[in-house]
Structure 1
Amino acid sequence: MEKQVNELPDLDSTYEITVDQIAEYRKNGHVMIRQAAKSDEIKVYEPIFTHWVKELNYHDKPVEERDTYGKAFIQIGNLWLKSEQIKRFVTAKRFAKIAAQLMGVKAVRLYHDQALFKEPGGGHTPWHQDQIYWPFNTDKMITMWMPLVPISEQIGSMTFASGSQKMGYISKLVISDESHRSMAEYIEGKGFEKVTYGAMAAGDATFHAGWTLHSAPGNPTDTLRKVMTVIYVADDAVIVEPDSNARRSDLAGCLPGQKPGETPCSPLNPLLYSEDWEA
């Protein structure tokens, strides 16, 4: 089913982002990077991701019978450990360098990956901050969100609250109906502009900061919204004592064997890009 690794497109070539894109990210906490991966590259990788998501799908109820979180997506993490082909995509230097440049750091490591496949009839993804799950005290974490198939205007990209990343840790609320209500009120109260990028081609990508409030609409279409995400952390970020069950779970699962006060260096957090490699 899967091609040999050396038959797959090379994703280590450089994608030149602009000064304006970097400025936009740092101001708003999110940015769109068109064709971070070319359509012919994604065409090769998409069936591999689809195979593994179907293989590992844990849902045993129809969409309409699940809770809000379960309706939002099929969520499979650390797929790069399951497949050498997926590892080539997740650890790609091209994407990691974009992440480092946007954040303004010298080097980035993998925190983890996640496939987020929203089924036909799938529900919305409530407003939340990703970084409430991550046991780091830093603003140097970023998520690449890349569709593996074209996404229509009807589904669209995620919606971001521009500038919300500057508020840092807003709430410990995990993704839920409560987080959606509470964060929607917070956004309105602060007057943050809500931005969505509309239709996306396969290989387009949004990058958003760990503290940026965001949500996503449901899927009213009859096609599966296939998205792959990769989360990057600055090489010198410091792990903090977890202050919630969510963060305790992530410390154990994503940073095995590591302790507060250390920088990420577990086997699950390989270095993906460093400026030193350019010398």
Structure 2
Amino acid sequence: MDKWEQELSREYVLTANQISKYEEDGHIFLTNVLGNESIAQFEKHITEWVMKLNNHDKPVSQRDTYGKAFIQIGNLWTRSEDIQRFVMAKRFAKIAANLMGVDGVRIYHDQALFKEPGGGHTPWHQDQIYWPLDTSNTITMWMPLVPIPQEVGTMTFASGTHKLGYVSRQEISDESHRTLGQFIEGRSIPQVNYGAMAAGDATFHAGWTIHSAPGNPTAFMRKVMTVIYVADGVRIAEPASKAQVNDMKQWFPGLGPGDLAASELNPLVYGRE
């Protein structure tokens, strides 16, 4: 076992206060989830594949709101053994299991989210409107591969909104930004942005937590890798939208409503002994 694998398998200890805070807010910021040497190693591999698979063919200024938000590439773990080591890391998966209070977690999928220089904001949205799952036990790790300055910052989270379930079925768009923004303001829901982040820090947020992200006014690419986890034993729900039908086909190949969310693309990455 090399030093990268040792770090990826070593436990990141959470306090009871951190877990209870996550349960209350639906999001948390953790420092030094992965060390500098390790994150630099994986950044090279992830960036190589993101640039290779990027299909944007227009300048940022000529794209729609979603296209301006980021370069988005999913399931990179299937492309590279090095990236697979990152995505399947027991260290990350156990954090996810402990925050959700479950005995085991599977990968739903990973996503690289690279916000280009001059890239636009990511509108307010709920991740889980896309996911045909019969549970609220989902969580996303959001980890920068490079330092993120204050003016770019983390995502902005609307605290406690994970307890509300569906608020709006709107997909990420200008309309979702207006509708959910008005909802947040109308209910005076607290908003949290954790500001600058070091490479290897991470946020974790629940699938129903409403969140957005600022644009990138800097000259540098905001490189982020995400891993989405779902509790082991969850079943696929009847899709409630075209987006959920597409997700079911893409992330759960060969499976349908009522089946365990456990295709070959959804390996068990942590289970309590």
**TM-score with structure 1 setting the length:** 0.96
Larger deviation, residues 217-226 vs 136-145:
136-145
d(CA) in 2 for partners of 1:257 and 1:171?
29
Name 2:43's counterpart in structure 1. 46
**Letter aligned with residue 144 of structure 2:** P
SS at match of 1:112: strand
| Counterpart check, 1:168 vs 2:165 | yes
d(CA) in 2 for partners of 1:246 and 1:272?
26
Contact 1:9 1:41 in 2 (8 A): no
| Counterpart check, 1:209 vs 2:209 | no
Deviation of 1:8 (Å): 4.3
Name 1:199's counterpart in structure 2. 196
Contact 2:5 2:85 in 1 (8 A): no
Contact 1:8 1:85 in 2 (8 A): no
| Counterpart check, 1:91 vs 2:94 | no
Deviation of 1:39 (Å): 1.3
Structure 2: gaps of 5 or more residues? none
The alignment-based identity, stated in percent, is: 61
Structure 1: gaps of 5 or more residues? none
Deviation of 1:190 (Å): 1.9
**Letter aligned with residue 57 of structure 1:** N
Match runs of 1:228-239 below 5 Å: 228-239=225-236
**Letter aligned with residue 30 of structure 1:** H
**Letter aligned with residue 56 of structure 2:** H
Which aligned segments of 4 or more residues in structure 1 are displaced greater than 3 angstroms?
A: 5-10
Deviation of 1:13 (Å): 1.0
Q: CA RMSD in A?
A: 1.1
**Letter aligned with residue 215 of structure 1:** S
**Letter aligned with residue 42 of structure 1:** I
d(CA) in 1 for partners of 2:246 and 2:198?
34
d(CA) in 1 for partners of 2:51 and 2:166?
34
d(CA) in 1 for partners of 2:167 and 2:155?
19
d(CA) in 1 for partners of 2:101 and 2:169?
27
SS at match of 1:172: coil
d(CA) in 2 for partners of 1:35 and 1:127?
27
Larger deviation, residues 62-71 vs 235-244:
235-244
Name 2:115's counterpart in structure 1. 118
Deviation of 1:137 (Å): 2.4
Deviation of 1:7 (Å): 7.5
- Map Cα deviations across residues 62-103 of structure 1 (whole Å, 9 max, x no partner): 000000000000000000000000000000000000000000
**Letter aligned with residue 78 of structure 1:** N
Contact 1:118 1:224 in 2 (8 A): yes
Residue-pair matches, total: 272
d(CA) in 1 for partners of 2:37 and 2:12?
16
